[in-house]
């Protein structure tokens, strides 16, 4: 019974980890895109390699935060929140790289996200979500 107040405090920690994992994941992907663009013309340009190293470091931090988050949050909460990754990457692609976001693209992303959640979270209680699937994001 004395665990109850600790439980709500711990929850916050795991939610923070979840938010961090999404933030780092989005930042990592945007940095990877930047690294890729900088490599056009010169595959091993220093600016590209440096950006890539930073991108992978940030992205790895995101993976670690995701693993931490999953220790204290059910997949049913964690997975829907990853929709923010799609939002962040779409916005970042538009804002930083001037990409056009047509309504077909946005609708397609919505369908993909809905599909990913449905695959990750089976409705039948007997069929537990596979932990390996939970480790793999994006």
Partner 1 sequence: MSAYAGWIELALAIVLGTIGQLALKFALRKGPGAGRSRLAMLNGPLGVWFCCYAATTLFWLLALRTIPLSQAFPILGLQYALIPMFSSRLLDERLARTQWSGVALIVVGVAMVGHS
Residues of 71-99 as b/e, b for ≥16 C-beta within 10 angstroms?
Answer: ebbebeebbeebbebbebbbebbeeeeee
Is residue 78 within 8 A of residue 11, CB to CB? The reply is no
Q: Does 90 bind partner 1 (CB under 8 A)?
A: yes
Range in contact with partner 1 (rule: CB under 8 A) among 3-11, 15-23, 65-73, 86-94: 86-94
Can you tell me which of 32, 62, 64, 80 binds partner 1, judged by CB under 8 A? 32
**Between 4 and 127, CB nearer to partner 1:** 127
Instruction: Establish if 102 lies at the interface with partner 1 (CB under 8 A).
Output: yes
Say if CB 59 and CB 29 are below 8 A apart: yes
Asked if 39 is part of the footprint of partner 1 (rule: CB under 8 A), the reply reads yes
- Piece of the chain touching partner 1 by CB under 8 A; list 3-11, 15-23, 65-73, 126-134: 126-134
Distance, CA of 104 to CA of 9 (rounded, Å): 42
| Alpha carbon distance 71, 24 (integer Å) | 18
CB-CB contact of 65 with 18 (8 Å):
yes
Say whether residue 128 binds partner 1 (CB under 8 A): no
Contact positions toward partner 1, by CB under 8 A? 29-30, 32-33, 35-37, 39-40, 52, 56, 86, 89-90, 92-94, 97, 99-102, 104-105, 107-120, 122-124, 127, 130-133, 135-136, 138
């Amino acid at each position: 019974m004395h665990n109850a107040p600790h439980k709500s405090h711990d929850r916050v920690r795991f939610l923070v980890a979840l938010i961090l994992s999404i933030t780092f994941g989005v930042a990592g992907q945007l940095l990877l895109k930047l690294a890729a663009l900088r490599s056009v013309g010169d595959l091993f340009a220093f600016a590209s390699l440096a950006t890539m190293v930073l991108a992978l470091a940030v992205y790895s931090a995101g993976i670690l935060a995701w693993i931490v988050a999953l220790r204290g949050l059910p997949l049913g909460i964690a997975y829907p929140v990853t929709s923010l990754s799609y939002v962040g990457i779409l916005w970042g692609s538009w804002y930083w790289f001037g990409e056009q976001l047509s309504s077909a693209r946005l609708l397609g992303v919505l369908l993909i996200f809905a599909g990913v959640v449905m695959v990750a979270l089976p409705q039948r209680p007997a069929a537990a979500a596979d932990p390996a699937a939970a480790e793999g994001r994006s």
